[in-house]
Structure 1
Amino acid sequence: GKSPRECLTDIRLHRVHDELCCEDADSVTTVAMRWGFTHTGRFAAAFRKRYGVAPSDIARTRGR
């Protein structure tokens, strides 16, 4: 199973992913900070591990 911290991180990553997929989303850094990710490098690594792409790739595909 997962620890409570891992579960919370998964939820936060999912929320960031959902926001980044929106047409009118803020920047990757702004969205990540909103969901409590204060270290951009660790956030990007966790996001890539979970989704297989960098968060900036998600933002780029929506035209940003």
Structure 2
Amino acid sequence: MKRRVILFLILVGILITLYFLYKRQLGAISFYLLAIFFFTLAANQLSDPTRKKRKKKQSDR
């Protein structure tokens, strides 16, 4: 629950930044920032299942 609130606040901050950059005609920077954000989210989701499997294997021993 806490993680979702943090992600929501980050997204709101990014949206405000994107709006400001578009008004200044710097839209490419906003796409770059979004690409970094979504890449980190995807990397975290891909690494989480492997961490959970490792923890289960260690607890089974």
TM-score (norm 2): 0.43
Higher RCO (Cα < 8 Å, 6 or more apart): 1
Larger Rg: 2
